[in-house]
A and B are shown apart, each in its own frame.
Chain A
């Protein structure tokens, strides 16, 4: 028992240490300020990715995870999407592959982009209602079964687990994973859902198609899945209510007078958000932004875009001019 705790502490320390070391390395060695935040983000995403694999050896009630996600959203908004999401990490890795191959990314037409972003809510609503429908048609035998464990992902509340699907690492400890290669259990976000609801045969076909589409899609359109992701929608939905306008505490703020409308922020945004460009100053209110901070990093006018936590400025656009030294 004691050794387990020591082992846990060691693992956590190593992971944290790697994370800190990676961030420091970037801060010291990466001279090109225009991509520093991006690389820092990749490091933190990698650490989060590995730590989640470790996290899934514990059993934590699903309900707690969901509550935690919502509470955290109020404070840091969709920072999870940009910096911690493992599926996001995979998509960012495909971006690196594409850049190495010097292939151009595609941009979705603006209206289509906005409609797809709205479809997130539809998918979210669908999965929120499925358990209610199931409960009404097949009520569970007892209460404890109703509260499911993340490790097992079964029962009438199973559909809610779609909200934490992006959290699931690709190598999982449970044996009913989608694929087992040399006794390593592999799965992919949402594939479990597909297999459950569509059955093994059709399910497998659709699952493979889904994997292909999301990977291929994010190869050409940056962060393609984020336009459909119900987890992202749930994180953004809080901000839409009147009493929560102050949320999230972590936000991007724009100084209208310094903005020259050069359009760089609009062009580099991975979610194709136009609000940073169009809004006349103040707090940027959009649910499509995942705080990847590419706009703030690339804005070439000092103090125009600021990343603020409440009233404290954490990071702001600079008189950016260092030419690229990489690639």
Chain B
């Protein structure tokens, strides 16, 4: 156990009183924002599905789920947090530990992060640093260990910063996605991670437990895909509701989440039959792609799109806080330990569309993914959302724009930060974009 007296590598010494004050202020403000967001989502759809009630409760980060995890910890289970989708959640589940994603979506803590790292650093990183400083994030605090995948510069250094507080295992990810050496290397990292998790939790990952974990995530993927497929037709669920459902997977109990999502899909299917649309089928259909958007504060853009005048609806997204979480299942050939591990390795490395990769054949899978989504979900416009400081997403914009111009889909580059001050300006831009889409639809 690291005592607080030992000097931290990065973090300044903050007096306990200040920590507690800041945490209480921001926590209260955050609870209000969570409630406010949910109120607005409820207002947007007066006939909101009953099944959403469960997700509204889960959305309260300081509420029930936190208590559940704490109770499990008392019984001896370990909590392993991770900051990036590449961390193999199946291994964590197989070792009977609780996986939970700990990225921060709080705007106010990013200003605290400015004390430690320059302002130009990615706001998600700064916000996570700030959240650790004042011990705000319940999941981050409850984690016994963290898996950090060193995808971008911010993540690499963040793992150093957080290593003062928790055990951090960094997973080296190769930058060239599809070469044979990369896959060998990544499979080695997965094997190494497996033994680290086993040692830490004291539970051996057996063939049976890994098979069950993989099957659990496959079932979750099925429910998830069912929900996304329901968004293909006329709008039967608000984009924000679906995005919330997707995101609660990151911290919720996987089995329960699957059941509740299946229930939601059942309800939505009945609505499709009764043709109960949540807004006019003419509403411009938008796809959001870019840097991840974390609940609760960074709900700025979806709220703006769906409450703008003219209104838009988000029917799909390509965000690692959204549809990338569960889109790809693990494809196991012959359920032996080796095959399962190499299936897991391949699923995480090769199916990913994160721009942190490049590939020898031109890195087209993100473009193909977007084009396929645009065609099948009938998307009319794409908002390319980037937080300032993200080099990788920002640089890929030109390429995506060229590809989407070819199929005549307008793309709008929207960059913002973890701040509430630019809501006015963003509103003008989003409304102009939606107006543009409406006009195109009319003609």
Direct contact of A and B (CB under 8 A): yes
Q: What is the distance, in angstroms, from A269's C-beta to the closest C-beta of chain B?
A: 10
B369 on interface, CB distance cutoff 8 Å = yes
Q: Which residues of B contact A259 (CB under 8 A)?
A: 365, 368
Residue in A closest to B346 when the chains form the complex, CB atoms:
A263
Q: Would you give the shortest CB distance from A26 to chain B, in whole angstroms?
A: 19
Residues in A224-265 with C-beta less than 8 Å from chain B: 256-264
Query: What residues on A are CB-neighbors of B342 within 8 Å?
Result: 267
Known A104-B338, A257-B368, A260-B368: A321·B346 in contact at CB below 8 Å: no
Q: Is the CB of B339 within 8 A of A300?
A: no
Q: Say which residue of A261, A264, A298, A324 sits within 8 Å of B365 (CB atoms).
A: A261
| Chain B CB within 8 A of A99 CB | yes
A323: Cβ under 8 A from any B Cβ:
yes
B 383-397 contacts with A by CB, 8 A: none
Q: Could you say which of B332, B338, B343 has the most chain A C-beta atoms within 10 Å of its C-beta?
A: B332
Instruction: Flag if B350 contacts A321 (CB, 8 Å).
Output: no
A321 touches B218 (CB 8 A): yes
Contact between chains at A257 and B351 (CB < 8 Å): no
Is there a chain A Cβ closer than 8 Å to B398's Cβ? no
Whether A262 lies near B347 (C-beta < 8 A) is yes
Stretch of B219-227, B268-276, B432-440 contacting A (4+ beta carbons < 8 Å): B219-227
Q: Which one of A102, A261, A298, A324 contacts B336 once the chains associate, using CB atoms below 8 Å?
A: A102
- In the assembled complex, B334 has its CB within 8 A of some CB on chain A: yes
Per the bound structure, the CA–CA distance linking A262 and B334 in Å amounts to: 17
A267 touches B343 (CB 8 A): yes
Tell me which residues from 103 to 142 in chain A have a Cβ below 8 Å from any Cβ of chain B: 103-105, 110
- Shortest beta-carbon distance, B374 to chain A, in Å? 10
Q: Across the interface, name the chain A residue whose C-beta is closest to B347.
A: A262
A187 to chain B, nearest CB (A): 31
Inter-subunit contact A260/B351 (CB<8 Å): yes
B180 within 8 A of A: yes
Give every chain A residue within 8 A of B328 (Cβ-Cβ).
Answer: 260, 262, 300
**Measured between alpha carbons, how far is A99 from B346 in the docked complex, in Å?**
21
When the two chains form their complex, are residues A321 and B225 in contact, meaning their CB atoms are under 8 A apart? yes
Residue-wise interface mask of B (307-343) relative to A, using a CB-CB cutoff of 8 A (1 in contact, 0 not): 0000000000000000000001101111110110011
Q: Which residue of A lies closest to B224 (CB)?
A: A321
Query: B335 to A323, Cβ gap below 8 A?
Result: no
Are A323 and B371 interface neighbours, CB within 8 A? no
B194 to chain A, nearest CB (A): 16
B333 and A268 contacting across the interface, CB-CB below 8 Å? yes
Whole-angstrom distance between the alpha carbons of A256 and B180 in the complex?
A: 21
A175 within 8 A of B: no
By a CB distance below 8 angstroms, the chain A residues around B253 are none
Q: Which of A102, A257, A263, A319 contacts B350 (CB 8 A)?
A: A263
Task: Decide yes or no whether A64 CB sits under 8 A from chain B.
Answer: no
B372 within 8 A of A: yes
Residue ID in chain B nearest A95 by CB atoms: B334
For residue A321, which residues in chain B have a CB less than 8 angstroms away from its CB? 218-219, 221-222, 225, 329
Partner of B218, one of A264, A268, A323: A323
Residues of the B chain whose Cβ atoms lie less than 8 Å from the Cβ of A99 = 334
Q: Counting CB contacts under 8 A, is A4 at the interface?
A: no
Residues of A within 8 A of B339 (CB): 104
Give the contact-size bracket for chain A: 20 to 34
Name B351-400 residues within 8 Å CB distance of A. 351, 353, 359, 361, 365, 368-369, 371-372, 375
The verdict on B178 contacting chain A, using a C-beta distance below 8 Å, is yes
Give the shortest distance, in Å, between A264 (CB) and chain B (any CB): 4
B108 within 8 A of A: no
The interface residues of chain B, by DSSP majority, are classed as helix
Which chain A residue lies CB-closest to B351? A262
Inter-chain CA distance A263–B331, complex, in Å, is: 9
Q: Which residues from chain B contact A300 at a C-beta distance below 8 Å? A: 328-329, 331
Q: With A and B bound together, what is the CA distance between A103 and B336 in angstroms?
A: 8
Cα distance A103–B219 in the bound complex, in angstroms? 27
Cβ–Cβ contact A324 & B215, under 8 A: yes
- Residue A320 CB within 8 A of the other chain: yes
Inter-chain contacts of A278 with B (CB < 8 A) = 361
CA distance A182 to B346 in the complex (A): 52
CB contacts (< 8 Å) of B207 on chain A: these are 102
Bound form: Cα–Cα A278–B360 in Å: 11
A327 CB within 8 Å of chain B: yes
B346 to A264, Cβ gap below 8 A? yes
**Which of B178, B183, B221, B343 contacts A261, CB < 8 Å?**
B178
> A260 to B346, alpha carbons, bound, how many Å?
12
Smallest Cβ-Cβ distance to B217: which chain A residue: A323
CA distance A102 to B206 in the complex (A): 13
Report yes or no: A262 in contact with B368, Cβ–Cβ below 8 A. no
Q: How far is the CA of A174 from the CA of B433 in the complex (A)?
A: 81
Q: Is the CB of A110 within 8 A of B180?
A: yes
Contact in complex: A258, B336 (CB < 8 Å):
no
Question: Given A104-B338, A260-B365, A321-B219: A298 and B180 within 8 A (CB)?
Answer: no
CA distance A256 to B372 in the complex (A): 10
Which residue in chain A gives the minimum CB-CB distance to B180?
A110
Please tell me if the beta carbons of B369 and A264 are within 8 angstroms of each other in the complex.
Answer: no
Closest Cβ of chain A: how far from B355's Cβ, in Å?
15
Q: Which of B89-128 contact A (CB under 8 A)?
A: none
Q: How far is the CA of A102 from the CA of B336 in the complex (A)?
A: 6
Most buried by B among A104, A262, A298: A262
Inside 8 A of B211's CB, which chain A residues have their CB? 324
A13 and B23 CA atoms in complex are apart in Å by: 80
Q: Using CB atoms, name the residue of chain A closest to B333.
A: A268
* Chain A residue, CB-CB nearest to B342: A267
Q: Which residues of B contact A103 (CB under 8 A)?
A: 336
Partner of B331, one of A298, A319, A322: A298
Nearest-CB distance from A114 to chain B (Å)? 14
- Quote the shortest CB–CB distance from A164 to chain B (angstroms): 32
Which of the listed residues A99, A267, A319, A327 has the most CB atoms from chain B within 10 Å of its own CB?
Answer: A267
A103 to B353, CA, bound (A): 33
Give which listed residue, B215, B221, B229, B331, contacts A268 with CB less than 8 A.
B331
Residues of A within 8 A of B371 (CB): 257
Check B368–A258 contact: CB distance below 8 A: yes
Of all chain B residues, the one with the shortest Cβ separation from A319 is: B225
Q: Is B335 touching A267 in the complex (CB atoms < 8 A)?
A: no
Residues of B within 8 A of A257 (CB): 368, 371-372, 375
A-B contact pairs, 29 of them (CB 8 A): A102-B207, A102-B336, A110-B180, A258-B368, A259-B365, A260-B328, A260-B351, A260-B353, A260-B365, A260-B369, A261-B178, A261-B359, A262-B331, A263-B351, A264-B343, A268-B331, A278-B361, A298-B331, A298-B333, A300-B329, A300-B331, A319-B225, A321-B218, A321-B219, A321-B221, A321-B222, A321-B225, A323-B218, A324-B332
The 6 closest A-B pairs by CB, nearest first: A264-B331, A323-B215, A321-B222, A262-B351, A263-B350, A268-B333
- Told that A320-B329, A327-B335 touch, could you supply 6 new A-B pairs with CB distance under 8 A? A99-B334, A257-B372, A260-B328, A260-B368, A261-B365, A264-B346
